[in-house]
Structure 1
Amino acid sequence: MSVQQPIKIAILAMGGEGGGVLADWIVDLGEHQGWHAQTTSVPGVAQRTGATIYYVELLPPAPQPTTRQPVLALMPMPGDVDVVLCSELMEAGRAVQRGLVTPQRTTLITSTHRVYAIAEKAAMGDGRVNDEVLVQHAREAAQKLVSFDMARTAEESGSVISAVLFGALCGVGALPFSRADFEATIERGGVGVKPSLKAFGRGCQAALGQDAPAAEPAATVPTPAPQTAAVAALLQRVEREHRPACQHVVREGVRRLIDYQDTAYAALYLDRLAALVRQAGADEDTLVRETARHLALWMSYEDTIRVADLKTRDSRFQRVQGEVRAKADQQLHINEFMHPRIEEVCETLPAALGRWLARPHALHRLVARFTREGRVIRTSSLRGFALLWLLSRWRVARRSTLRYVQENQRIEHWVQRVQALAASHPALALEVARLQRLVKGYGDTHARGLRNYQTLLGVLDRHGATLAPAQLARLRDAALADEHGKALQAALQQQALHA
């Protein structure tokens, strides 16, 4: 006597992506065709550190009438899943890692867009997982792979990604139900039926290998505002002073620093690069280009003024409103969680006053006590917005602040080191330029990166031009490997480069 086997489906989705709705649709679809259906879910730790796993089993009706009820499993087991649906590419990688995807039986349906994991965002360097590697592993692990950018399809359809996944499930033919049965399931839901059916249709077409309907034409991009004479002069200077291979990066650096401060600050950026160009050889485009990129990043360091500026820009409010899909008649509140330390307060003040406040005395202890706890500032309120907007306007006096004085000294010292090596040791000069990657962010992140940067400068001071460029590159990569500097200390010991 043959035993009927259920169709086993695992859904990996993050919060807000409709994984529960998708599971309910599949159950409803099966039950309306007379099948036995069951769904369970295991929630993740958080929306990005672990997705919720929804598990569905569908068992066809018994060929002969019976009073016995089937016993269905409560969770997916490695090597025993027929269909895996993932709302994001990293979740597909996790499904493969867990053994839920096997080449003997599993159809894997996944979106190729990325929502970066906490570990990827927190990395000192570029902690992103290679998307192509994830896709390749998924292709090798699955019997059949269906993958495309479902987030974009959902956005263009005005729906959510669960509807696109449901359409792809229909198109791939993993379930013995017709497209009309799938669509009737969405209609029975009664919520957002029209956009859900549109997203479903596009997902189904993509899974069938057909071209998805073209997206509606994008809104016309407004013509950029005319350049001022000062800006035009800076861009002309870029063309005059730099070779074509470097002009794009330098031009973007100029635009970034005008946005960050003003045209005079961008002119200082070009002055610093001009000194390097005079020292570098005619074929050292890579050195000039990399220095230009890292110099622009360092000169636009993140201080409290910059943070306040970015949080009060109209583009930020528009982006948040778009992300949460807020309608015109809905009220949106934005809470900013901020935790400035006493060091950030001192650095925002004029240099002399900041140094005085940084010394241990009664006022220092009072301010430190006030900044010990974090603050929640609602930028969607008049009071919260005005507070950060006024702080952002302090950029007119940024050059007088303690942070500017400190960063300017560090930048000048770094630029001079690159210039000194450019003519005689360009490869080593390039690695010194890339050391700027260590100095980023603000607060504790900036302090840790700066400490590692200074450690490597100390190595350079002790060994000078005898230090191999590859050695310095390995030490930099070690410094980027962890925020506490343990990998860097191990690399220094291994290479016998300790002081």
Structure 2
Amino acid sequence: MTQPIKIAILAMGGEGGGVLADWIVDLGEHNGHVAQTTSVPGVAQRTGATIYYVELFPRARAEADGGQPILALMPLPGDVDVVLCSELMEAGRAVQRGLVTPDRTTLLASTHRVFSIAEKSAMGDGRVDSDQLLAHARRAAKRFIRFDMAQAAQDSGSVISAVLFGALAGSGVLPFGRAQFEATIERGGVGVKPSLRAFADAFERAQRDEAASETADAAPAAVPTPKPTDPQVRALVERVQREFPAPAQALLLEGVRRLIDYQDLAYAVTYLDRVAAVARLQVDDGHRLLTATARHLALWMTYEDTARVADLKTRDTRFERVRSEAGAQDAQLVAINEYMHPRLQEICETLPGGLGRWLMNSGMPRRLVERMTRKGRVVTTSSLSGYLMLRCVAGTRRWRRSTTRFAQENARIEQWLAHIAQAAAHNPALALEIAQCQRLVKGYSDTHERGVANYELLMQAALRAGAALAPATLRELRDAALADEHGNQLRAKLAQYALA
């Protein structure tokens, strides 16, 4: 008995999933098939994609049977021929739902990631491993065609739906030729030229099929060696290449770039001096302690204060990203509004140390500032006045080293490094777990305060336990702290291990 061709499309808002479904329907109807499409919207923003479902049935077969085929409204697990996913996590979700099966389904997916709300909101590193997603998808699908379709769309000046349509044509899984696919795009009449460019590129990539994809998966990404023109920056790059082991160099170079961007060259030198002290510990663990400390130290030394936040909000790249995400055309104006509610403590931490301490301990001036900032305000960053205001705040980084916040963070960093060195002398695995505890210190405002409170609670317990503390126990305590920002789970675990 003839069965319909069953196609599921998983796409996020703004990626043209509806356009792709309409193209497939138009393709079928103009080439001798009865077609039907339905869709079920996902939840807000990045917590779920919209599922579009298309079924195609040969019209001649339907007429021979004497009636119209009855087509389904939604895909069923184990009963889908083609699954198209606009992003790698959506491919994982398709596999999880059972829409992808090794005896039947051709899976076409982009390998780029758009992180979900759950991944972004996790207190620790909540990202799902892309390699694991790829491995699961490879095992689940009969055929798995994948490449970075978002980049392909950007290179062609089109959208990802056109790339997916080209990959679908190149896969040869539908009974239509390339010319029929291209004619469908031309009938749409909107963005035809860039869509055809994206289609052609994706068609050629899909023609290379799994062999090219396997090679792309297996080949590690090359890390380019920076060649700065500034002699002082070049000296730092050469120091990294000369003094540190090769496996840690890419991470250290990124750390140097981040520290220069955050403060200045001298701050990057301090970073390398601190990492060099860890390297001299000569721990034989395959450089795991060195790389972990280098990574977390770079993050800690670039803590998010008001100057940093204001700087990031007023960068050209941010304005370009917002315009791109909003889908704004060149002639369109985009307004960016920031809700700002600085607390007195954050204002004092932004001022030079003496002035900040005076304001914090003052009477009338303190009450006046608190009254002015009680309700917060909206600043339009895209306006001249709003932009200049935030640039002035960003400019306060010139006296960052004199602030009370800098002194506090610097003291915590030095204590953390001392704990690592002390533990490395008798238990390198425990030292590695201590290095990982920096994950608790993140964000700003209330988020930062809660993270620091949990971190200090954990470090006090580790100091009390000393050399008797097992690395696995510290890891379990850290995971409890990351699971609950208010510290309830951490306190329960500390009581369980008699470390409270």
For normalisation by structure 2, the TM-score amounts to 0.85
3-state secondary structure, aligned to 1:209: helix
2:394 aligns with one of 381, 392, 395: 392
Deviates more, 1:197-206 or 1:280-289: 280-289
Report the alpha carbon displacement of residue 421 of structure 1 after superposing the two structures with TM.
4.0
Aligned equivalent of 1:157:
156
Report the alpha carbon displacement of residue 234 of structure 1 after superposing the two structures with TM.
5.5
2:228, 2:234 within 8 Å by CA — same for their partners in 1? no
Aligned residues: 485
Report the alpha carbon displacement of residue 422 of structure 1 after superposing the two structures with TM.
4.4
* Residue type of the alignment partner of 1:497: A
Distance 1:371 1:9, change over 3 A: farther
1:44 aligns with one of 42, 67, 89: 42
Aligned equivalent of 1:295:
297
State how far apart, in whole Å, the 1-side matches of 2:189 and 2:317 are.
34
3-state secondary structure, aligned to 1:80: coil
State how far apart, in whole Å, the 2-side matches of 1:475 and 1:421 are.
17
Report the alpha carbon displacement of residue 321 of structure 1 after superposing the two structures with TM.
4.7
Q: Does 2:405 align with 1:406?
A: no
3-state secondary structure, aligned to 2:47: coil
Aligned equivalent of 2:264:
262
Deviates more, 1:155-164 or 1:201-210: 201-210
Residue pairs, 1:21-420, within 5 angstroms: 21-63=19-61, 64=63, 68-209=67-208, 226-227=229-230, 231=233, 249-250=251-252, 252-273=254-275, 280-281=281-282, 286-321=288-323, 328-355=330-357, 357-358=359-360, 367-368=369-370, 370-371=372-373, 373=375, 375-420=377-422
Distance 1:262 1:209, change over 3 A: closer
3-state secondary structure, aligned to 1:110: strand
State how far apart, in whole Å, the 2-side matches of 1:423 and 1:351 are.
37
Distance 1:191 1:415, change over 3 A: same
Report the alpha carbon displacement of residue 387 of structure 1 after superposing the two structures with TM.
0.8
2:426, 2:467 within 8 Å by CA — same for their partners in 1? no
State how far apart, in whole Å, the 1-side matches of 2:159 and 2:466 are.
57
State how far apart, in whole Å, the 2-side matches of 1:160 and 1:84 are.
18
Aligned equivalent of 2:217:
none
Report the alpha carbon displacement of residue 38 of structure 1 after superposing the two structures with TM.
1.9
Distance 1:419 1:191, change over 3 A: same
Distance 1:353 1:100, change over 3 A: same
* Residue type of the alignment partner of 1:110: A
State how far apart, in whole Å, the 2-side matches of 1:78 and 1:164 are.
26
1:129-164 per-residue CA deviation (whole Å, 9 max, x = no partner) reads 122222222233333322222222222222111111
Report the alpha carbon displacement of residue 493 of structure 1 after superposing the two structures with TM.
4.0
1:344-403 per-residue CA deviation (whole Å, 9 max, x = no partner) reads 223223335444555696765664565455644332221111011000111112123232
1:235-256 per-residue CA deviation (whole Å, 9 max, x = no partner) reads 6766786667666655544443
State how far apart, in whole Å, the 2-side matches of 1:247 and 1:488 are.
35
State how far apart, in whole Å, the 2-side matches of 1:249 and 1:91 are.
29
1:9, 1:55 within 8 Å by CA — same for their partners in 2? yes
* Residue type of the alignment partner of 1:296: A
Aligned equivalent of 1:217:
none
State how far apart, in whole Å, the 2-side matches of 1:176 and 1:282 are.
61
Structure 1 ranges of 4+ moved more than 6 A: 359-362
3-state secondary structure, aligned to 2:108: strand
State how far apart, in whole Å, the 2-side matches of 1:270 and 1:249 are.
12
State how far apart, in whole Å, the 1-side matches of 2:414 and 2:289 are.
17
Deviates more, 1:35-44 or 1:102-111: 102-111
Distance 1:69 1:274, change over 3 A: closer
1:123, 1:483 within 8 Å by CA — same for their partners in 2? no
2:465, 2:499 within 8 Å by CA — same for their partners in 1? no
For normalisation by structure 1, the TM-score amounts to 0.85
* Residue type of the alignment partner of 2:385: R
Structure 1 gap ranges (5+): 213-220
1:123, 1:482 within 8 Å by CA — same for their partners in 2? no
Aligned equivalent of 1:215:
none
Deviates more, 1:127-136 or 1:346-355: 346-355
Distance 1:115 1:252, change over 3 A: closer
Report the alpha carbon displacement of residue 310 of structure 1 after superposing the two structures with TM.
1.7
2:311, 2:394 within 8 Å by CA — same for their partners in 1? yes
* Residue type of the alignment partner of 1:40: T
State how far apart, in whole Å, the 2-side matches of 1:414 and 1:184 are.
63
1:113, 1:149 within 8 Å by CA — same for their partners in 2? yes
Aligned equivalent of 2:221:
none
State how far apart, in whole Å, the 1-side matches of 2:75 and 2:367 are.
56
1:469 aligns with one of 468, 471, 480: 471
State how far apart, in whole Å, the 2-side matches of 1:92 and 1:274 are.
42
Distance 1:470 1:382, change over 3 A: same
Report the alpha carbon displacement of residue 426 of structure 1 after superposing the two structures with TM.
4.2
Q: CA RMSD in A?
A: 3.3
State how far apart, in whole Å, the 1-side matches of 2:181 and 2:236 are.
59
Distance 1:69 1:385, change over 3 A: same
